[in-house]
Structure 1
Amino acid sequence: MNLELNFKEIFTAFMVLFAVIDIIGNIPIIIDLRKKVGHIQSEKASLIAGVIMILFLFLGKNILSLIGVDVNSFAVAGAFVIFFIALEMILGITLYKDDESSAMTASVFPLAFPLIAGPGSLTTLLSLRAEFAIENIIIAVICNVIVIFIVLKTSAKLEHVLGKNGINIIRKVFGVILLAIAVKLFAHNIKALFEFA
């Protein structure tokens, strides 16, 4: 098996996942969780989120073929999900919100899943798989897990440094990037669908 390492693909996949996971924008939620449960195991949360994402990257396609859906169709659906996540980030609205939990297992639920490895990031992984080499996506996931771990470890300091306005600006910038990526994903995969039709 030849490795097709492409730094442009790695960087793009990293940025897309970083924007969808929105770990910087989730700092206030992380701080609230920390206050509720006292302590968050940053290593455990990061590792579990990474394992969920990589497993879904490999098994997601098989699950789809089992139910008779091709990757291009899923990528188009994923483009819609990413589009709505981007709208939430840009407009500061909430279209979908899980009930918050203050269980002792906060490091796993809701932090690792569904906050980090949630519907948005899992859908994005399969959408990326339709365009990029799998090894590049895996490297992008690992890089994101490292960033997630650093952010979880330093969340209180980051909130203090960035401030509420800083976090809002970052959310909006990544929202615009995400919106453009959603449009590109949609255009690329809808074209592929019509070619096969």
Structure 2
Amino acid sequence: MKFNFKEIATASMVLFAVIDILGSIPIIIGLRSKVGHIQSGKASIVAAIIMVAFLFIGERILNLIGIDINSFAVAGAFIIFFMALEMILGIALFRDDQPESASIVPIAFPLIAGAGTMTSLLALRAEYQVENIIVAIVINIIFVYLVLRSSKKIEKVLGDTGLNVIRKVFGVILLAIAVKLFTTNIHELFV
């Protein structure tokens, strides 16, 4: 096992920006008011299981349909790029409708472990050691759990302006990561 603090930190930041749990607080609060109690622990554990499973079997699924990891990473870079634009510009390019249920769907999937997260995991796997990505997943799931548990308090403390600032900052970070993923993996496709 090769634990690398830089890889863990970068992967954690990528996942934090993609999951965007702070930006999802309004959605979480809306769901809580509709369905009542949200099981924070259950949602976090299910999301972690989905993410780790996809980290290991996602590449096999791609191989089964004839797509290499670098091609998927380039495609993922585009998705991350558009997600970053959404965060920075405050526009909605793509968003799932909010179902009526809560803890597992839509919070664990697709809010936490959605398409952007899956794409990011495979893109990260193309560049980083698996154990570092798993540590980054665990760090993010702990943070997600804490945010889910205290979403009402966080909303009161940050307010709309604070949430918007955080969202824009992570949007810029995500944009830079998308450019790096694209340039690294597009080069690998032509080598």
TM-score category, normalised to shorter length: over 0.9
Letter in 2 for 1:57: L
Give CA-to-partner distance per residue, 1:134-177, whole Å, 9 cap, x none: 00000000110000000000000000000100000000000000
Alignment of 1:126-137 (within 5 A): 126-137=122-133
Q: Quote the offset at 1:70 in angstroms.
A: 0.5
Partner of 1:159: 155
Letter in 2 for 1:119: A
Alignment of 1:8-23 (within 5 A): 8-23=6-21
Q: Quote the offset at 1:68 in angstroms.
A: 0.8
Equivalent position to 2:83, from 75, 82, 85: 85
Q: Does 1:182 align with 2:178?
A: yes
Q: Quote the offset at 1:50 in angstroms.
A: 0.5
- Give the Cα separation in 1 of the matches to 2:51 and 2:177: 19
Equivalent position to 2:166, from 167, 170, 187: 170
Letter in 2 for 1:162: L
Give CA-to-partner distance per residue, 1:53-73, whole Å, 9 cap, x none: 000000000001111111000
Partner of 1:52: 50
Q: Quote the offset at 1:15 in angstroms.
A: 0.3
Letter in 1 for 2:53: L
Alignment of 1:11-160 (within 5 A): 11-103=9-101, 106-160=102-156
- Give the Cα separation in 2 of the matches to 1:191 and 1:97: 31
Q: Quote the offset at 1:102 in angstroms.
A: 1.5
> Which structure 1 residue ranges, 5 or more long, are not aligned?
none
- Give the Cα separation in 2 of the matches to 1:102 and 1:169: 29
What RMSD in Å do the two structures reach over aligned CA positions? 0.5
Instruction: State TM-score, norm by structure 2.
Output: 0.99
Instruction: State TM-score, norm by structure 1.
Output: 0.96
Aligned pair count?
191
Give CA-to-partner distance per residue, 1:81-100, whole Å, 9 cap, x none: 00000000000000111111
- Give the Cα separation in 2 of the matches to 1:96 and 1:177: 20
Identity in percent: 66
- Give the Cα separation in 2 of the matches to 1:34 and 1:174: 25
Give CA-to-partner distance per residue, 1:21-48, whole Å, 9 cap, x none: 0000000100000000010000000000
Structure 1 runs of 4+ aligned residues shifted over 4 Å read none
